[in-house]
Amino acid sequence: MKFIYGSSKKGDVSEALRDISEPAALFFSVMSEDMLEYAAKEIERRFPGVACIGGVGQSYADKQFFDAGITVIAMKENIKVVADVLEQASVMPIKYIRRLESAIIAVGGERGRTACFDICSAGADLRAVTTLSNFLCRLGYDLAGGTSNSEAVACNGKVYKDACAFLLFKNLKGKIKAYKENIYIHPQGNERRFMVTKAEPKDYKIYTLENMTAEKLYTSELGISRDKITTQTFKNPFGHVCGSDTYIVSIKDVEADGSITTFRPANRMDFLTILSMGDYREVVQDTISRIKNDLGGAPAVLSVNCLFRYIMFNDERYWDSYLAEMCRSFSHAGMVGVGEHYNTQFVNQTMCCLAFE
């Protein structure tokens, strides 16, 4: 697969599409929700019938980072793609599962060569990921994607609220595989796990861990004050222990009652740990090596990087180097999301991607 991209800081769709021709699929991002409908309609008018999804957020392609206007990433060569949408994504996306089923039939789904990339409305992640993964993973198809920084997403020229738009790919010349990159580790010699003893998942709120307020446990474990909690998550997020893997849970806020709100829900009797930042440069190199070893040097990687990851990398003056490292090894493009999706899991502070052989 090959990427071609265009952008316009002014939000001029024609300018962004100037160098794009004969795309098999399109993925676009705009910087505000009020630009979404206009962009979706103009792209559909220019390329009628071409699979296209879009959302709100910053984006990147090769070494370039885009934080204004519109960016369009076109995909072409050796792929077959269908775009569709699951509506009522936070309530009952399963009602629309026939659309995913039809997309798989249309591309001629094949294990190892078929995968899904999605972008969903903010707040719709949990049910959207569960619905997509339950259907895809039993067929051996991977899922990667993320969350738009808005209530709406676009698909094939239309805008939908509370929805999950997806591109269903078949690689005609090789494999497609999903990867996630976690730059956080368990502190050496300290892999303590804390049971969630009171929570309200629908509000993304953790009241108590081990019957202690979430605020008190977090601050006492790290030796910090309450006012440091929301920035400390960049270095020490929660981790949800799930079997042999750990999925990141970012902290959003701390409440007056000592509860902590997060960007990913936790349930009563979940086990959480407090993670520490690892050597992110080494982790990035490990990810690049894994993709190359698995796919023999993937020519294209479509990814979602968490907003918190971007902020942290930027603060560490590593973001430009990160894009350059990925670009040296692959054709790399994607967007900055406010949540990430990897097969069966909705995660935070992570990079998730589809790699195409």
What confidence tens digit (pLDDT) does each residue in 24-81 have? 999 999 999 999 999 999 999 999 999 999 999 999 999 999 999 999 999 999 999 9
The answer to whether residue 189 scores a pLDDT higher than 60 is: no
Q: In angstroms, rounded to a whole number, what is the distance separating the alpha carbons of residues 75 and 144? A: 16
- Arithmetic mean of pLDDT over the chain: 95
State the pLDDT at residue 190: 62
State the pLDDT at residue 118: 98
Report whether 38 contacts 44 (CB < 8 A): no
pLDDT band at 191 (very low <50, low <70, confident <90, very high): confident
State the pLDDT at residue 188: 59
Task: List the one residue out of 338, 350, 253, 311 whose CA is nearest residue 33.
Answer: 338
Report whether 151 contacts 37 (CB < 8 A): no
pLDDT band at 244 (very low <50, low <70, confident <90, very high): confident
Question: Which of 112-121, 237-246, 253-262, 284-293 is predicted with the least confidence, judged by mean pLDDT?
Answer: 237-246
Residue pointed to by tokens 């995968």: 115
Task: List the one residue out of 130, 121, 5 whose CA is nearest residue 56.
Answer: 121
From the CA atom positions of the chain, what is the Rg in Å?
20
State the pLDDT at residue 298: 79
Report whether 184 contacts 273 (CB < 8 A): no
